[in-house]
Amino acid sequence: MGAGLTIIAAAQGLFLYGLGWLAVGLGAALGLSASAHTAVVEREGLRAKASISLMMIVTGLSAAVFWPLLSLVNASFGWRAAVLMGTALQIGLCVPLYLLALPDAPPQPPQETQSPTSAPAETAKAGRATFLLLAAVSTLFTLVTFGLSPILIALLTASGAAPALALSLASFRSALGVTARLGDLLLGKLSTPPRAMAGACLLLLVAFAALAFGAPSLTALILFIGLYGFGSGVGTVARTVLPLSHFSAADFGLMSSRIALPQNIATAFAPVAMTALLDRGGPMAALSAAALLTLAALACLWGLQRGRRS
């Protein structure tokens, strides 16, 4: 990231500018949140949920701090200075934290060597089914939240809200999401990942119903954004740590990286699909699709819990 930002700041032509963005893209891929979450799980094991929740609270507030700060630097000293400020943060702050402040992961106990017949086929099949259901829950929830969040202003406006009100409500959603993560953190062991994920899906379903059948009432608009903000905030944490409810901490990194592939595809596809539904079918079409996807996520979650009990 530091090298890419430096190249962008120094670029005077298209070649160096493109090269810089290529380096930034590679750095961003290596710095996805899955890497940070895996680092926490490697050090804290099954107790990592609280740390991941706290980390998500901080990252949820990062844009509120750095967008205005970078905009101020841009307005005062130009965009190249703003980009170099990013380089300084990456190299002067992040690298020392990684090298000096991050504790070493405890050594993993050696795994016992097993013969090919010691792992029944049924066990392997159950593990594959569990992974597929986890990936489905994560992908379906991502389709809903990443599909609706970018079009919240348009959705609220199409539902009857005045443009200024739609902007205010949509902006408030981020704060509600951070508040929901804080509440989930304070609940501690009372909020297990499966319970939190189920609660998040139920909140989203009630939010969709409130907007679909109550708009353009101000009460319905506020109820929708409140429930959607809390549901998406809680669900983001629960979706991240849900693999810990079904796999060991040692397997968390592998499972998370595999789940990330369909999840990232959903992240790219969802806004386009939801925008098309809103444009062609109106709010009811977008809300109906979101509700069906949420119900499917609940069904997969139920399958996970049933398989775990059996």
* Residue 55: band (very low, low, confident or very high) from pLDDT cuts 50, 70, 90: confident
C-alpha Rg value of the chain to the nearest Å: 22
Give the model's pLDDT for residue 117. 46
Q: Helices marked H in the chain — which ranges?
A: 2-10, 14-30, 33-44, 48-77, 79-89, 95-96, 121-148, 152-158, 163-187, 193-214, 218-241, 252-309
Quick one: average pLDDT of 242-248? 85
pLDDT in tens, 279-307: 999 999 999 999 999 999 999 999 988 87
The three-class DSSP label of residue 104 is: coil
pLDDT in tens, 64-89: 788 788 889 999 999 999 999 999 99
* pLDDT reading at 113 higher than 60: no
* pLDDT reading at 115 higher than 70: no
Give CA–CA dist 93/95, Å, rounded: 6
CA–chain centroid gap for 81, Å, is 30
**What domains appear along the chain, each with residue ranges and CATH number?**
2-101 (no CATH), 125-309 (1.20.1250.20)
